[in-house]
Every structure is written in structure tokens, then in C-alpha cells.
Amino acid sequence: MVLSSDRNLRTKRKIEPAKSTIATKRTKFSGTMKYTDGGHLYMDMSPENVRYFGEPSPEVDQAWAELIGPAMQFSMSREEADALAVKSYEHPKDGFLVTPDVLHTLHCVNHVRKIIDSEYYFKVPLHGLPRKQRVHTVIQCHMDLTPVTTMYFGSVNTEVGNFEQEHTCRDLEPLRVWATRRKQADQARLKALGEGGDGHLGPEPLPTHGYVDNEDALLPWNSTLSEID
């Protein structure tokens, strides 16, 4: 099982309007590392599975873009924001921004993938500790208890983990569709404001979204400290 406790769905720490998208499905995992009769190691991927990893390529990047979708972050109304136990910053233009945790975690996994091949994507080596830490925390939180059995390969006289087990998973597609519609509504709202009517009334520059991307941000930092060195 990979579902969080149903009790979590009844708390105010969830995005209430998104609850209607929750659906489950049985999913057989793939990706078991196997050996050929000649002792060659390979990954057994189901034909219907999209390749999200491997050598970096435009095809892999496109697969991730389609998986996460264009609506990782969208605006909540003030009423929706007030209903949450955890408060959100009100952006002067975009309002109360929120991201479903599953989409943000997938974004982190994709970024870790890019960091592994950082010289391809960023032209310089990068660290990825914060996102690795987040992925670790999310996996531990969900605590999947589906058994991973083993397979024996006589060609190399060894056994390996068999990941080809069925899991009960939440279906991501309904959430992606819902989030995309919310994002489209945001875009229509901003477009309706017209030129010079972006909703920003203050004299200060608009805050940016996400982490600041500058030269200092790319410098190595001490992972044993709670703050960037």
C-alpha cells in the first residue's frame, strides 16, 4: 500500500477542493534489475511504462513535463486559504499560492535527476541535498508495506529484489486535470485584469517565485549546518 492514513484526509492540512479527485487503482511496479543467461545486468521495464530516467534527452525531459503538468502551483481563494491549518503567504499579484505535495515531490525527484547529470543541464556540478532530504522524508511518511520478494538467477548465482508487485496507488491523473483547470482559471483572471491591472498596488517590486537563482546560490554549502554556509 502507498496510501497515507485516511485520517490525514479529514484534517485541515489538505487542499479541500482537491479531495474530489482522489481515486485509487492497482498498479504493478516494474524496474526490477535482472540478469540474462549470459550474466548481463539490465532493468526490466514494462512496455507501457514511460522512461523517466537514464541518459538525459529531450524525450526524458518531455516525459517529466507531461507527468508534472503545467499546473504545479496555482492560487487559492482567501476562503480556501483560511480553511488551511498551515497559513500561506499572500503574493501581491498571484494571491495565496499552493502546490499539491505529490506534484512538488515529483518536481524534486526530477531536479535530483538533473543534478545527477548537472553538467548536461546546468553546465556546472550542483548539490542536491535539500531535495534528496525531501524525497527521503516523503517516502518514509507514506511507509509502503507491500512485500518486496526476491528472484534467483543461476547464471550469476545470486538473488535480487523483485519489484514487480501490485500496489494500491492513488491515481495522479484526476489531480493533474483538476490542478490544470485551476491554473487556467488563474491565467484567465490575470488576463482579465488587463495591462497595468495586475493587482499589484504596492511600490515595491513583486516577489519572485521559488529559490533565487544566482551565482552565490550555486556555491557549495555545509550540509551539516541548518543554514546555507
> Tens digits of per-residue pLDDT, 138-169?
889 888 999 999 999 999 999 999 999 999 99
Is 132 a residue whose pLDDT tops 60?
A: yes
H/E segment holding residue 116: helix 101-116
Q: Is residue 69 part of a domain?
A: yes
Q: Is residue 17 part of a domain?
A: no
- What pLDDT, on a 0 to 100 scale, did the predictor assign at position 162? 94
The C-alpha cell at 181 is 483547470
Range of the domain at 141: 25-186
**Is residue 24 helix, strand or coil?**
strand
Q: What is the pLDDT of residues 90-103, one digit of tens each?
A: 887 778 888 889 99
Measured N-to-C along each axis, helices 129-142 and 101-116 cross at an angle, to the nearest 10 degrees, of: 130
Q: Is residue 213 part of a domain?
A: no
Length of the chain in terms of residues written: 229
Residue 209 CB-half CA count within 13 A: 14
- What pLDDT, on a 0 to 100 scale, did the predictor assign at position 79? 86
Percent of residues, the chain, with pLDDT higher than 70: 76
H/E segment holding residue 100: none
7 pLDDT band, cuts 50/70/90, is very low
Q: Is residue 152 part of a domain?
A: yes
Note the pTM of the prediction, 2 decimals.
0.74
- What pLDDT, on a 0 to 100 scale, did the predictor assign at position 156? 94
Q: Is residue 12 part of a domain?
A: no
Q: Which residues contact 127 (CB under 8 A, 6 or more apart)?
A: 115, 220, 221, 223
The CA-CA-CA angle for residues 140, 71, 85, to 5°, reads 55
Q: What is the pLDDT of residues 117-129, one digit of tens each?
A: 888 888 766 667 7
Average pLDDT of the chain? Answer: 78
210 pLDDT band, cuts 50/70/90, is low
Q: 95-98 and 149-153 as β-strands: parallel, antiparallel, unpaired?
A: unpaired
- What pLDDT, on a 0 to 100 scale, did the predictor assign at position 119? 84
Domain count, the chain: 1
Q: Is residue 93 part of a domain?
A: yes
Buried b (16+ CB within 10 A) or exposed e, 84-109: beeeeeebeebbbbbebeebbbbbbb
CA–CA separation, 168 and 38 (whole Å): 35
**Listed residue (213, 161, 52, 167) closest to 117, CA to CA:** 52
- What pLDDT, on a 0 to 100 scale, did the predictor assign at position 80? 85
Q: What is the pLDDT of residues 176-191, one digit of tens each?
A: 999 988 888 888 877 7
